Amino acid sequence: MSRPAKAARAKSRSRQAQAKPYHHGDLRRVLVEAALRLAAEGGADDISVREAARRAGVSPGAPFRHFASRDALMTAVAEEAQRRFHAEIAAALAEAPADDPVLQFRQLGRAYLRWALGNPAHFEIISTGRYFDHDGAQALSADNAALIAMTSRTLEQAQASGRLKPVDLKAVQIAGRALVYGFARMAIDGHLPRWGVSASEIERRGEQAIDLFLAGIVR
């Protein structure tokens, strides 16, 4: 190889080496996306900083500029999963009349089940305390508090409009959450076939459970 050709090749390698660390405009987001895909493919236990870096196409050390540990990455993953869950809820509420709080409450339950059943690994991450420090996940805590407050307001509006039987709203809120959480866990953990519920029936049976619950509290 001629000297000019060698020089040109060396210059090209130098440019590539300099460019690689900056390949992604938002490496933090790319790493979180990679971790979410790992969770969806093999479960939350399969998430590692090294594998997320490999998926993102960066060196194993590059993620540590954004995440000091796997726990830090898992917190970011949980916060993004929660954000997507909240978006699912917001989209469902937009489909219901704003002046019908009972239907809005039903939509909350349906959206919860739809998201949990469609994203079981992400649901696992945000619904258990195994993968990250809930107290340290400020964005997730704020998002979760906003959803709880939204549910409370919806039930208060339903009560104020005379749509509910005389009930303890806090008890209704907790029981409603227990219903959709429990049904989602039954489905994800594979219990429903033993109850004679096939995969194609799961969403419909979930909606039936929500409607049975509503029948007990709505006038």
pLDDT tens-digit readout, 205-214: 999 999 999 9
More confident residue, 52 or 129: 52
Number of domains within the chain: 2
Residues 100 and 165 in one domain: yes
Query: Of the ranges 16-20, 59-63, 129-133, 190-194, which is most confident?
Result: 190-194
Query: What is the Cα–Cα distance from 80 to 73, expressed in whole angstroms?
Result: 11
Q: Residue 84: pLDDT band by 50, 70, 90 thresholds?
A: very high
Q: What is the mean pLDDT of the chain?
A: 88
Print the domain residue range for 158. Answer: 74-219
Residues 45 and 95 in one domain: no
Residues 13 and 40 in one domain: yes
Residues 59 and 83 in one domain: no
Residues 103 and 171 in one domain: yes
Take residue 43 and report the two structure tokens written for it.
């479960």
State residue 3's pLDDT score. Answer: 52
Which of 31, 48, 68 is the last residue before a domain boundary? 68
3-class SS of residue 43: coil
Residues 37 and 121 in one domain: no
Phi, psi for residue 198 in degrees, rounded to 5: -80, 165
Mean pLDDT computed over 167-173: 97
Predicted TM-score (pTM) of the model is 0.83
Q: Which residue has the tokens 């258990």?
A: 128
Residues 121 and 202 in one domain: yes
Query: What is the Cα–Cα distance from 114 to 102, expressed in whole angstroms?
Result: 18
Phi, psi for residue 146 in degrees, rounded to 5: -65, -40
Which of 43, 68, 93 is the last residue before a domain boundary? 68
Residues 88 and 62 in one domain: no
Residues 133 and 39 in one domain: no
Take residue 132 and report the two structure tokens written for it.
């990250």
Helix residue spans in 20-58 (DSSP H): 27-42, 49-56
Query: What is the Cα–Cα distance from 98 to 161, expressed in whole angstroms?
Result: 13
3-class SS of residue 133: coil
CATH of the domain at 92: 1.10.357.10
State residue 135's pLDDT score. Answer: 80
CA 189 to chain centre: 17
Residues 59 and 101 in one domain: no
Residues 152 and 214 in one domain: yes
State residue 22's pLDDT score. Answer: 40
Query: What is the Cα–Cα distance from 115 to 72, expressed in whole angstroms?
Result: 24
Of 15-29, 35-49, 96-110, 136-150, minimum mean pLDDT range: 15-29
State residue 120's pLDDT score. Answer: 95
State residue 62's pLDDT score. Answer: 85
More confident residue, 160 or 56: 160
Residues 93 and 49 in one domain: no
Of 22-31, 170-179, 189-198, minimum mean pLDDT range: 22-31
Mean pLDDT computed over 159-176: 97
The rounded percent of the chain whose pLDDT value lies above 90 is 73
State residue 17's pLDDT score. Answer: 39
State residue 146's pLDDT score. Answer: 93
Mean pLDDT computed over 211-219: 97
State residue 1's pLDDT score. Answer: 54
Residues with Cβ within 8 Å of 54's Cβ and at least 6 positions away in sequence, in order, are: 60
